[in-house]
Amino acid sequence: MLHDDFASSTPRPGSRRTTVFAAAGLACVCLTVAGCGGDGGPAPGGGSAASAPPKRSASPSAAPRSGKPLPRGPLSGRTVVIDPGHNPGNRDHTREIGRQVDIGTARKECDTTGTATDSGYPEARFTLDVSRRLRTLLEKQGAKVVLTQDGDRPYGPCIDERARIGNEAGADAVVSVHADGSARGNRGFHVILPAAVRGGGADTSKIVTPSRELGERIAGNFVRVTGSAASNYIGGDTGLDTRKDLGGLNLSTVPKVFIECGNMRDPEDAALLTSGDWRQKAALGIAGGVSSYLKR
């Protein structure tokens, strides 16, 4: 796999099989657009380490693109940070993204290029598209939305900066959007939750419980809105996986989860991930989970 914060996926023991479906019952929420409807081992990819840290090329964008005030809605006063995994420009900056950064308990590469479908559709394009759709849905409900990158910087941000953006925004919830790069035949989505980690600059003790609730609600909505099944290769069919080796989670001080929306290297999943209609459903599923969590 080619993820920032990620290494090859291996099946892990999961919670009870019913977790996703119980969460779906908790999280039914109507959205304004489409009715009622969310790093084990060293990180792969990258290049040689750089001697100087990369420059921040742009600040995260929080303002609605229209420049108009946000509408009043059920999420007014709430801040959501959306983290589109990778950056389409990372492939042209392997030296910069290969630089090692501190994730609290270890050091990892700043970022990676991400994976792609066999036909060449890159994960970085997928994550940015879904994240923009998700932003629109949440802003319609009154939420202030911050993207860690919006195609407005040549590469990155690094995984430690991605966590810092959420922390500095005082986010009520952070969602990192990804798609997996596993073996053919491995299908379905899963939501990654932070494990209890304490060491160096990492301390997830205050976010483990709320992050799990956020993740369960996103998983429940995602399976209901998209029709996709929970992963058949990670999480014991629950759609949930707990990790202690992801810098984006380890360094977060606010509730945060990752979602792997499907496996780009499986032809059946790839057909979904490359469909604009399905990406809208994915955004609706994630938005429903976030909204349900924030309105609980």
Instruction: List the catalytic residues.
Output: 260
The answer to whether the CB of 204 falls within 8 A of the CB of 246 is no
Residue 203 corresponds to which tokens in the numbers above? 């301390």
**261/82 Cα distance (integer angstroms):** 14
173: left (phi over 0), alpha (psi -120 to 50) or beta: beta
Cα pseudo-dihedral 102, 105, 149, 214, rounded to 10: -170
Task: Encode burial over 7-28: b for 16+ CB neighbours within 10 A, e otherwise.
Answer: bebeeeebbeeebbeebbebbe
For residue 157, whether the previous peptide bond is cis, meaning omega lies within 30 degrees of 0, is yes
Q: How many CB atoms lie within 10 A of CB 102?
A: 16
Q: For the packed helices 276-294 and 208-226, what is the interaxial angle rounded to 10 degrees?
A: 140
**44/114 Cα distance (integer angstroms):** 10
Cα pseudo-dihedral 166, 169, 173, 174, rounded to 10: -30
Cβ-based neighbours of 52, under 8 Å, separated by 6 or more: none
